[in-house]
Amino acid sequence: MKTIELHTLREIGKMYQDHFPKRKNPQIYFFQRGNRIFAYSPIFNYAAYLTKEEYKFLTSHELLEKNDIHYDSLINSFLYLPEAENVFVPIEDIGNRQKPSEKKLNINTLSLIITPLCNLRCKYCFIFGGEKDKILDTRQINKIYNQLDVEAMKDIIDQLKPKVLHFFGWGEPTISFDAIKEIVDTYGEKMKYSIVTNGVYFSRRSEIVRYMMENNFDIELSFDGLPRINDLYRVMPDGSSSTQEILATLQEFKKYKGYRDKVSISIIVCGGNEDLILESIRYIESLGFKNIFFEPLEMNGRAIENNIKPVDAVKMAINLAEATIYAKKHGLFVFSKFLPASRNLINVPFGCSFVEGRSIALGPDYNLYLCLDSMSELMVGSVEKVGEKYSIKIDYDKLNYVIEKRYAPNLKNCDDCPVKCGGGCTKCSISNYKNLDYGGESEEYCRARREALARYIELAFV
């Protein structure tokens, strides 16, 4: 099975125009190996050899971006100027997006942070952090609600009119399964549904799995893959292993047609485990699943208290790039914030759909955020009860301020970067830089993305 498919540069351009008629700068990376120049499309996983005439045209007309970053094998991404139509079909500028109107908020996805309670005590968890039988620690959260009110959620859904409902929890959302079921039963096929879950369902396993599969949920199941690693970090309240419980849930999913497309496995990588990525991929493959997320541990709260090592981001990124080649050859799909070259990112000017204005989250405090974390910098609305109904109040000035700030061309340290990641995670940027002006979670993460991109493209052309 080929790692990549070869096309002409014009053919790749035509594919983009057909699939994304209103988009520009669709992630083309230029790679030099010896005397040959390649163009690589990560969205389609296609590549093109550039003819001498094409390359001469690009360089003579200064249509390749210039920067001072020294990566020998990576030239840079392509600037689609009108003059380039001789070698590529130009596409309209995605930057001319319509800003949210005060009359209507164009939300695609509403994330409901439905409960902070959890049935696990993962040692790196921000709230629980491996504390035995600890129900809730108020040192991190001053005011918390046991569960979002179902009627409030329905009122908010009716007002925002999202296309997708995403059930999320600072804890485990299936603890509130009856509330989830009531909401889904109300809207039925009018909506699409997704959930992030730990797969620990105990006696309700068959019921919960059947309901999610019958209602076509997209499921991201958190499981640290290799049993010896999962046993180390993802523990029950009594400190015992959660692995067998999770494996039993995965077996339950396998009873249903289409489980390989609907269920993704999400793996947190802690410091010291950067070299286990390929082994983890092979283990998940052996279980019968094909979609795998790898994310570096965020060093906050209990991770530090429990002496968990920070991730070597560059090492993790390079291992991911190399492991992704194996995954593609075996029909698997590996995703990570460090792999812009291997995932279907189409909202390149923004790091995520929240700061693009397409998603919004309802927190347990009944405020609305442009993030799954309740950062005050990203709070753009509130919910109040008026009589028997709930009313939404949106701060459109702040909403548009965040969107404008996080548009990648406006970020101070993104102009000369070959990795078009849209500026990365806004929450992490705020944590590191204390403002909205800088892209990338940190200098280390930015370097890791560049190294991963260079390594991935290099391997793809071997």
DSSP-assigned states of every residue in 30-81 = EEEETTEEEEEETTTTEEEEPPHHHHHHHHHTT-B-------TTEEEEBP--
Q: Alpha-carbon distance 170 to 154, whole Å?
A: 20
Domains (ranges, CATH) in the chain?
5-95 (no CATH), 109-335 (3.20.20.70)
pLDDT digits over 202-231, tens only? 999 999 999 999 999 999 999 999 999 999
Q: Alpha-carbon distance 280 to 17, whole Å?
A: 37
Per-residue confidence at 452, pLDDT binned at 50, 70, 90?
confident
Instruction: Provide the H-helix boundaries in 161-194.
Output: 177-187
CA 330 to chain centre: 22
pLDDT digits over 368-414, tens only? 999 998 889 999 999 998 888 999 999 999 998 998 898 877 888 77
Question: CA of 112: how far to CAs of 149, 218, 350, in Å?
Answer: 11, 15, 22
Instruction: Please tell me the total number of residues recorded for the chain in this structure.
Output: 462
Residue of 317, 312, 314 whose CA lies nearest to 456: 317
In 3-state terms, what secondary structure has residue 157? Answer: helix
Q: Alpha-carbon distance 425 to 350, whole Å?
A: 9
Residue of 118, 115, 212 whose CA lies nearest to 168: 115
For the residues 243-248, what does the mean pLDDT come to?
Answer: 97
pLDDT for res 64: 54
Residues 6+ away with beta carbon under 8 Å from 53: none
Question: CA of 440: how far to CAs of 90, 190, 268, in Å?
Answer: 28, 36, 19
126 vs 237, higher pLDDT: 237
pLDDT for res 344: 36
pLDDT digits over 53-98, tens only? 666 666 665 555 444 333 333 333 443 333 333 333 333 333 334 4
List the beta bridge partners of residue 165.
Answer: 110, 193
Both tokens of 377, joined, read 């910098």
For the residues 252-267, what does the mean pLDDT come to?
Answer: 97
Both tokens of 352, joined, read 């995520």
**Weakest mean pLDDT among 186-195, 285-294, 328-337:** 328-337
> Beta-carbon neighbour count of residue 43 at 10 Å?
20
> Beta-carbon neighbour count of residue 104 at 10 Å?
9
Both tokens of 436, joined, read 């909205």
Burial class (CB within 10 angstroms; exposed 0-12, middle 13-18, buried 19+) of 186: middle
Both tokens of 304, joined, read 């530090």
pLDDT digits over 173-190, tens only? 999 999 999 999 999 999
Return the exposure string of 399-422: e unless at least 16 CB atoms fall within 10 Å of the residue's CB, then b.
beebbebbbbebbeebeebbbbbb
**Ordered strands of the 109-113 beta sheet:** 333-335, 291-296, 263-269, 218-222, 192-197, 164-168, 109-113, 359-362, 367-369, 379-386, 389-394
- One-letter amino acid identity for 85? E
Q: What are phi and psi of 159, to 5 degrees?
A: -80, -40
